[in-house]
Amino acid sequence: MNQISLEETSYDLIKAHILDPLHSPLSEKKQEQLERVMSVIRVLDKNPIRKNAYMLHQQKYSHLSKVQVYDDIKLAQRLYNTVHEFEWGFWRSWMINDIVDNILTCKKSKSDKDRRIIAMEHANLIKLIGVQPDELVDPKRSEKHKYYILIQNNHQEVKIDLDSIENLPNATLKEINRIICAGDEITDIEADEIMKS
């Protein structure tokens, strides 16, 4: 007997499981997989960086193998859009077009029922046009900027990019470390001035 994957499971069965988990039509294996996938999607909403999501999911389900954790993440990304990937513009325009089509269809008929539908659709249209999500903070913002270490030696400043540090030879890294750690001695008066500033 072939087992149907969670992706191919009927929406009605999943809905029945969510509404009444005690009398779930899903097998124990699918219930556990659905719970893991829902957990992953919540993690991905908060931490869209896959590596962080992997670590959090692995921590919650420590009995899973690495492959299974990555499979859960891939399945969650395939089945659900996170708030970071949701195409607000497409679905908003689709809903507007659908509401307008309903209004135009109901306008052709002059019945009271259709007039009530038109009024409800106008209310829905007003709600839809008035609501737009705030701009989400880009989780990879810090990866888009370059960070530099400024090293000052004998009144000369040298700017070193953090990405290029790992490409430097070991001797250079040791010299940079020596320069950073071996700064000039300061007097007690200079230390007091620094502390007061």
* pLDDT tens-digit readout, 67-93: 988 888 888 888 776 666 666 677 778
Q: Whole-prediction pTM value? A: 0.42
Cα gap 187→60, rounded to integer Å: 53
Domain residue extents for the chain:
11-79, 88-130, 146-184
Helix 66-79, helix 28-46: angle, nearest 10 = 70
Hunting for tokens 């097998």 — which residue is that? 27
* pLDDT tens-digit readout, 3-27: 777 778 887 888 888 888 888 888 8
